[in-house]
């Protein structure tokens, strides 16, 4: 994977279902904009017209026959389009990209969750992204029991993956914990069982520190 720092800043948020990413991202983006920064807020699967069509297909609970290999290729197809159309151009223009999920979701869900071979997933990902790696990954950690309960209570629509077994979601979480431990310089873990406000403040402090470090490096 590409270790050279991107010209802009590529930040991803990761976490199991109900970890609160979609609540936190708008607040984080608004805070970055208030600091005078240019921010592109986006998500996976999706983020482009074509990617959003792929998202609909992937999340439709009616698509029960979707084979694991087809699933990974569809997530990767959405990602290839996203990198080419949105993420790379924004980074080249010096902007901050704030992305709800990226390739670590593939490793956590399709790798640890479904049990697909991780080295193969890494090769497919390398092909789809050209090796574009986030500068910073904020991991919102939560027990699947609590996350899934929150999601149901929030009245959110349950997608095809939400309907997986509790064991599947436990493997996904354990996968995230392992991925975060493998690359401590890229990952920061936040306890998402805390209040929304507490998580918001922690995320803001993490970004503040990262922006200060970058500023120091650039000068
Ligand atoms: P969300 O946008 O509500 O988080 O839903 C995205 C779902 O797609 C979530 O269940 C995780 C799953 N997913 C994968 O399984 N693999 C991937 O590569 C990505 C990006 C998402």
Higher pLDDT among residues 25 and 213, named by residue: 25
Nearest CA to ligand 1 atom 10: 161
Q: Is the pLDDT of residue 2 over 60?
A: no
What's residue 6's pLDDT? 62
Q: Which pLDDT score, from 0 to 100, does residue 161 have?
A: 79
User: Cβ(106) to ligand 1 under 6 A?
Assistant: yes
Q: pLDDT (tens digit, 9 = 90+) per residue, 80-110? A: 999 999 999 999 999 999 999 999 999 999 9
- Is 44 a pocket residue for ligand 1 (Cβ < 6 Å)? yes
Counting beta carbons within 10 angstroms of the beta carbon of residue 211, is it exposed (0 to 12), middle (13 to 18) or buried (19 or more)?
middle
pLDDT of residue 4: 56
Instruction: Please determine, for residue 219, whether its predicted confidence score (pLDDT) is greater than 70.
Output: no
Nearest atom in ligand 1 to the alpha carbon of residue 160 is 10
Domain locations in the chain? 9-218
Give how far Cα 143 sits from Cα of 19, 27, 65, 173, Å: 9, 23, 28, 7
pLDDT tens, 167-209? 999 999 999 999 999 999 999 999 999 999 999 999 999 999 9
Q: Would you identify the CATH topology of the domain 9-218?
A: Rossmann fold (3.40.50)
């Amino acid at each position: 994977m590409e270790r050279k720092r991107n010209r802009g800043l590529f930040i991803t948020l990761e976490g199991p279902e109900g970890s609160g990413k979609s609540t936190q991202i708008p607040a984080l983006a608004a805070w970055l904009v208030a600091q005078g920064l240019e921010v592109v807020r986006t998500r996976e699967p999706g983020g482009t017209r074509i990617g959003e069509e792929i998202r609909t297909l992937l999340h439709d609970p009616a698509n029960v026959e979707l084979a694991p290999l087809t699933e990974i290729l569809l997530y990767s197809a959405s990602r290839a389009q996203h990198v080419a159309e949105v993420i790379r151009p924004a980074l080249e223009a010096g902007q901050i990209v704030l992305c709800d999920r990226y390739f670590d979701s593939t490793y956590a869900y399709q790798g640890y969750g479904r049990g697909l071979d991780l080295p193969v997933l890494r090769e497919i990902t390398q092909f789809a992204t050209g090796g574009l790696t986030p500068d910073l990954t904020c991991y919102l950690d939560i027990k699947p029991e609590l996350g899934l309960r929150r999601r149901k209570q929030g009245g959110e629509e349950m997608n095809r993956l939400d309907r997986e077994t509790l064991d599947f979601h436990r493997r996904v979480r354990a996968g995230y914990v392992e991925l975060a431990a493998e690359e401590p310089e890229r990952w920061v873990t936040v306890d998402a069982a805390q209040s929304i406000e507490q998580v918001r403040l922690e995320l803001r402090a993490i970004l503040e520190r990262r922006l200060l470090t970058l500023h120091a490096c650039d000068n």
